[in-house]
Structure 1
Amino acid sequence: MVTVDDVRQVVRGLPRSSEHLIADRVKFRVGSIVYVAFSRDETVMGFAFPKEERPFLIAFDPATFHAPRESELRFNWIEAQMSRLDVDRMTELVLDAWRMVVPKKVWTAWQQQVEGTTASEGR
């Protein structure tokens, strides 16, 4: 099971990302756009996700993923049970959510920096 602190470790170095406490809920944003948010009890993580792909992810793993409440169905958003995620899966979901909300040039520069760091560590 992952925690909010695990997510903090992933988003720590992401350009333009910031953490906010809004109505007793931890949320991560780029500017005014929320890309990850947690339920008050921190058992559910909502995140940016293409709404046209949402039914497929839910059908693939309905024990982990579910649609947001009806008032949020119009948004690119999905929710996951934190207890069903491991660190690798959570990292993938969070990075994809962040990628959806930052300009392409920010994502590309970050990705090149990460790949450059990984390549230099392998020497």
Structure 2
Amino acid sequence: MFKILLAVRVVHHGVVQCGYSRELELPFVPTVGMRFEQGTSTTLWETTTQEELDPAIERVIYDLDEDIFVCLFTIPLQLAASFWQDLPKRNDGIVCGVMQYFRHMPIRK
């Protein structure tokens, strides 16, 4: 089994609004372009406006210090699903925690 961290940033009008994460163990290493779903009864990509997103993995990183594969996603709306852990919001511009993995990914407008 491989340790996997799903990291999501919400970007609206070129500004990071918030982020989410979830750590999993999977029998494989995810790849760029792969999509995740959660069966038929619930959705992990439902937004607070009841829309359902279908994002693909943008980048996969291996963190040597943490011994974990990190899958990065960017989405335009906040998520409502209880599957996700909210990341602490910071307004001081300091990159920390899970959001550090996005530091080499520009925000596309």
Query: Is TM more than 0.5 here?
Result: no
User: Please, what TM-score do these two structures have when normalized by structure 2?
Assistant: 0.27
Structure with larger RCO (C-alpha < 8 A, sep 6+): 2
Higher strand share: 2
Judging by fraction of residues, say which structure has more helix: 1
Q: Please, what TM-score do these two structures have when normalized by structure 1?
A: 0.25
Q: Please say which structure displays the higher CA radius of gyration.
A: 1
